Structure 1
Amino acid sequence: MKTLAKIFSLSGYKLLLLFLFAALIGAGAGQVDWRQTLGSSGDQYSNLWAEFCDELKKAGSAVEFYSPDDNELDRAEGYRFLSRTLRLSLLSELEHFDAAHPVLWQSETPTRKFGGNNPDELYYDSYIDGSKTYRITGQRGTTPLIEVTVYEGRLRSGESGKHIAHLTERDLIVGDDGSLEIILSPEPQEGNWIKTTAETNFLFIRQYRFDWEGDQPAELTIEPVNPGGSPAELSLDHVRERLLAAARAVDYNASYWPRLTKLVSLRGSNKIADPIMPGADDQEPETRDTTLPQGHILQPGYFDLEDDEALLISFTPPSGVEYWGFSLLNRWFESLDYRYYDVHSNQLRAQRSEHGEITLVVANRDPGLPNWINTTGHRQGMMLFRWTRPAPGTELPEVRVEKVALDSLAAH
């Protein structure tokens, strides 16, 4: 009787919890694994998730194929690269795929990298329908360089990207209060206008920060000029299509980027290759890149160093380029971790000699000299120079590379 009296004296909330707890205990005694009792509906979607996972499995073989057997770091980064590419692909192919309700989102971050990302750049993109008209609005900010570009072809999906048109900070009309409006449309518009074609489907914005703390990025949004109402109700057809598209994108990129790294390595280690002008017809297919606006020149290289070795990379930066940068990348064409290590340099970060020359020191341990570029435990990897928008007649510098014993640098 005392027990019953005590139970009925409890508040309604506590009494409900007590009964729920008792029910859970009772259910646990005869608990059945629901997976064993699940029957197939027999329709075309009953194995949707398994179909997605089966497609995704294909990407895993690329990690084992392109990673040296004795390099645990490369393999670990390879599997992490797959997870990062999957996250990026799901956001791009499923969450932000609706061109009728576009979202301008930051696609690449310190933990979501892609395709030789530059630590100095911020990347934003959106899917669009080139036959429609869109308005981009916001504040310009103070980043020294900004490029707003539209393409035919969804970058990162395996489709080739064809550059259609772009505007840069040179072209943009900005209000006295820093406000900005850009129109994307097939027909000419007053003010800031970017021409689109019926096949245009991708908007990509790059912002360059020379000073990470001082440069304020542009804050922009996108909207259709003639919105078409609320999004359509989610369907299984749509989810299946977009999940499989995301899985195929992971599989494509799992092989494409390490293959490009391999190509560069076969041309020789510990040197900087000849300049590559993106989009140039005389480049080999593996190095041709039509996704950048004109005026970008790349110089790749491949380092191969023991822990007690270093590379001295010396050059005199030309005055006729608006930006130059140097960065290290791993086998999967991701920049090394710039959150915690100095893995790149640019015209603001680098220290010059009294003669105006810069010597970068690529090594795994601190050499005790300026301009140390940390390999963060990588014995091998990519090096990449970027020379952005050289003025007419500008000659790129001679880049000299010397491999030395790390201990010998104490004499410098």
Structure 2
Amino acid sequence: MTRSPRITVVGSALSGNKGAAAMLEAAIQTLGERLVEPRFTLLSMYPEEDAAQNVYSNLEIVPAAPRQLGVTINTLALAYRVLPFLRETIRRRSRAVKAIVESDVLLDQGGITFTDGREKFLLYNVASILPALNVGTPVFKCAQAIGPFTSRVNRWASRKFLPKVNRIVTRGRITHEYADGLGLRNTVAGADFAFSLELSGTERYEINRHIDLSFFDEDVVGVCPSVVLQRKVDARGGDYIGQIADFIEQVRDEGKRVLLIPHSVRTGTEKTHNNDLPLCREIHARLRLGNDLLFIDRELSSQQLRYLIGQCGLFIASRFHAMVSSLAMAVPTLVIGWSHKYREVLEMFELEEWAFGHDSLSREYLTERFHALERNRIAVKDKLDRNLPAVKERSVMQADLIAELVGSRPAPGA
């Protein structure tokens, strides 16, 4: 009997950040079309939440919270490497190590890794790939942002570990230039995996059970806030909630409808890591009620979110993958970001002028850039329509590379 390909995924999720869900589901979709009955294992930061949302019969959820991944799983993977007589025992007792050992490839779907200014995440970046490196399973870093590498500790870690990865898909020009500058030779230029995500066709029916979609019969402006942006703006003495709320009210005063939509939601908790819903509730509390405002106060799937975003005429994004969804649906988009990862994606559409940094955010500047986007929406839409096919092709390309890698390997774990 032919063995089914096995793929382990780290750095993504079904719950919480729906951009991570979009990347994971895009991998399941595209690799399911290229491989014969592949089986997936997700090393999950939120195993109970992910298991509750798992609708894929070929996806297994295995607990891998940061401490568990960093200490237990990494220690056992190292023991597996240096103590051959313990290998069978380790495989029996650790579902995570067993999955990695028996996999044809480990997909690292971290959206941004090995980056200056994010040194507090560097241990997690290393811990995500080190078990596979120790047990001999190839690591494929799906399209993501890496660099810059000027920080001493980040530069050391990047030079130590990134060359050991089988393939790194860079998510844009700036990342690719950073990788070239570090001397990496295992890179290929691509586009975010989430651009490959296809809608099922059932989204309208699913959403219409909870949300009156006649709201979109008129022109709608979508607004997607981010708690990451809130922290950065407030840290410099700004008032992110007030600025976004004031902007929404001004747009409504101009006669437009507004969709307030979180793209990162964890149900049943007020914790704000990978969870913009508490922030959106605070913004909503400052807004007047009315038929011209729709607030999505619930967790939706990545496909449902993409469908709703696609109903907007214009979109204001702070979450990276909310931007990806709006671009994928060819919606003219204004981006408020905090990293090169936003601008390099917009460059693929010739639209980098429609992004600005959190340090420039004010209600006045946001309003000015929004009105400029509104005036130029036809030209922006034309660029989206013209460039989207090539971006999707660059995204799907990594599924071809993964399938080629899987097909070229002997059965692992022997």
Q: TM-score, normalised by structure 1?
A: 0.25
- Which of the two has higher C-alpha Rg? 1
Structure with the largest fraction of helix? 2
